[in-house]
Amino acid sequence: MKTMKEYKTISRVAGPLVFVEKTEAIGYGDLVRISLPDGTIKNGQVLDTSEDLVVVQVFEGTSGIDKETRVKFLGETIKLSVSEDMMGRILNGAGKPIDGGAEIIPEQKLDIIGAAINPYARETPSDFIQTGISTIDGTNTLVRGQKLPVFSGSGLPHNEIALQIARQAKVIGMKENFVVIFAAMGITNEEAQYFIKDFEQTGALEKSVVFLNLADDPAVERLITPKMALTAAEYLAYEKNMHVLVILTDMTNYCESLREIGAAREEIPGRRGYPGYMYTDLANIYERAGMIKGKKGSITQIPILTMVGDDITHPIPDLTGYITEGQIVLSRELHRKGIYPPVDVLPSLSRLMNLGIGKGRTREDHKVVSDQLYAFYAEGRDLRGLVAIVGEEALSERDKNLLKFAEEFEKHFVTQGKNEDRSIFETLGDSWKLLGAIPKDELTRISPDLRDKFYGKDIKDTKVEKTETKEVAEKKPKSKKKAKKK
């Protein structure tokens, strides 16, 4: 290996960028070590390289860098040291331990820019994940290998919901639980403590890897934190056969950093000053969720983002929604009403829902029940506006029922405790109870045979659960075999 030269040829420093002249040929994306005269070491990455000039993005910020500063190009890209011992550890945003424990002895060093999964090598996700939250399980079902973000706003309880999902998520009929990888980008120390404390209390920390880039950590470091977390996730999922749940919070801070770099490079900005390549950049994070044929593990992603000004059309939630497989939207209005979790089901969606539900997975009536709940709740909510003007007396019988339905839906279906773990059969049972308040022949989304089977019948949840779980357990291997044959 040839000796690496150090350069003292910094020509310009601007924002998080350092421009270096008169170098030998430097590889695009290479890792850079910067030594300040006072002995501080900083890390960076090559963003642009040519015969004349190399542009370096410095992760720890450029404060203190002067023309005396020495720059060394390491000739390799950024890598993360991975090993199974990572579990139970707390790392900083750049993958270094900060829990006072020993360095991680790497089994492998992996490039953090993950390659795209070949679409042909992907397995279609279809394992229903029971989160115990009715608004997710019942109407916006999560499946293993999906990326389902939470669109929140500042001050809304997205952290509690993420934790509740992490605590309760399981696949019915399977023993193994999820390994949780938690990547924090620019959140406050207090929020981070909240997460870690919860992990410690529930004993989940042993089966977690925590990456922390806090609000006072360098903003540029945030750009590599999710990539670090996903590299660790890929290692555990595809090499160690684990089912990994990755929580990324807060993607809004990540995008702000992206904008900062773009501005420092004087790039032509896209919408609201965010770089034109933000879609591709976000896709490189979100698309790393999934399952691969022939591999046992999986990566499920729950990115959390706070919508700027609660605006869902802002570029960050907008581009995210175009990449992810649905979204869970939190509503300030419901939160103000004191409803937890304040999930607004109408704009929420799970695109992979139909793959994970139905006979043999959850229950035959799941999809139609969900559609019917949506349709009635939407109508009921609309009627609230009308009632404010004409009063409830002016409503028809059907409208009065629907108005009541919307109220009850929020009270009994949406609302639940922070530790309440509802089984899918409880959720469906509750749904039928709500639907029971509407005359049977008005349930037009539900086919007559299912109406007859479930309407007005108080199905004993626990009993059904048992038989149904059995069915799931029996049917699973069969359907897998079928898929292989084809």
Partner 1 sequence: MAKEGKLFRIAGPVVVAKEISARMYDVVKVGHEQLMGEVIQIVGDKTVIQVYEDTTGIKPGEPVINTGNPLSVELGPGMLTSIYDGIQRPLPVLVNKMGDFIKRGVDAPGLNEENKWDFKANVKAGDKVNGGDVIGEVKEASITHKIMVPPKVSGKIKSIKSGKFTVNEVVGKLDNGHELKLKQIWPVRAPRPVRKKLAPTIPLITGQRIFDILFPLAKGGVAAIPGPFGAGKTVSQQQLAKWCDAEIIVYIGCGERGNEMTEVLTEFPELQDPKTGKPLMDRTVLIANTSNMPVAAREASIYTGITIAEYYRDMGYNVALMADSTSRWAEAMREISSRLEEMPGEEGYPAYLATKLAEFYERAGRVNPLGVDEIGSVSVIGAVSPPGGDFSEPVTQNTLRVTKTFWALDAKLAQRRHFPSINWLTSYSLYLETLRPWYKENVSDTWADNVSKMMVILQEEEKLMEIVQLVGSDALPDKQQVTLEVARLIREFILQQNAFHEVDTFCEPKKSAAMVESVLKFADLAEEALNKGVRIVQILEIKSKNKIADAKYTNDYIKHLEKVNKEVQDEFAKLKV
What single-letter amino acid sits at 458? D
Nearest distance from C-beta of residue 181 to partner 1, angstroms: 19
Residue 370: closest CA among 408, 321, 424? 424
Q: Which is nearer to partner 1, 163 or 278 (CB)?
A: 278
Query: What does the H/E/C string look like for 179-209?
Result: EEEEEEEEECHHHHHHHHHHHHHHCHHHHEE
Q: Shortest approach of partner 1 to residue 146 CB, angstroms?
A: 7
Query: Considering the complex, what minimum distance in angstroms separates the CB of residue 486 from partner 1?
Result: 6
Burial string for 155-178 (b: 16+ CB within 10 Å, else e) reads: ebbbbebbbbbbbbbbbbbeeebb
Q: Report the candidate in 195, 210, 257, 173 with the shortest Cα–Cα distance to residue 93.
A: 210
Quick check: 469 and 175 in contact, CB under 8 A? Answer: no
SS3 of residue 451 by DSSP = helix
Question: What is the nearest approach in angstroms of partner 1 to the Cβ of residue 439?
Answer: 12
Nearer to partner 1, 26 or 184 (CB): 26
Q: Least distance to partner 1 from the beta carbon of 200, Å? A: 34
In angstroms, what CA-CA distances link 352 with 80, 126, 127, 303?
Answer: 31, 8, 10, 16
- Smallest distance from the beta carbon of 184 to partner 1, in angstroms? 23
Considering beta carbons, is residue 176 or 267 the nearer one to partner 1? 267
d(CA 125, CA 326): 14
Based on CB atoms, which residue is closest to partner 1, 277 or 432? 277
Instruction: Count the residues in the chain.
Output: 486
CA dihedral 221, 223, 229, 230 (to 10 degrees): -160
User: In this complex, which beta carbon is closest to partner 1, that of residue 36 or of residue 283?
Assistant: 283
Q: Where are the alpha helices (DSSP H) in 170-326?
A: 189-202, 225-234, 251-264, 278-286, 315-323
CA distances from 116 to 40, 234, 270, 287, 466 (A): 36, 12, 25, 8, 40
**In contact, 103 and 386? CB cutoff 8 Å:** no
**Which residue, 100 or 119, is less far from partner 1 as judged by CB?**
119
Nearer to partner 1, 466 or 480 (CB): 480
Q: Which is nearer to partner 1, 73 or 178 (CB)?
A: 73
Q: How far is the CB of 371 from partner 1 (least distance, A)?
A: 5
* Residue 78 or 212 with smaller CB distance to partner 1: 78
Closest separation in Å from C-beta 209 to partner 1 = 21
DSSP-based three-state secondary structure for 407:
helix
Task: Choose between 467 and 479: whose C-beta lies nearer to partner 1.
Answer: 479
Q: Please, what is the minimum distance in Å from the beta carbon of residue 287 to partner 1?
A: 4
CB of 83 vs partner 1, minimal distance in Å: 21
Q: What is the DSSP letter of 143?
A: E
* Segments of 322-387 assigned E as strands: 326-329, 349-350
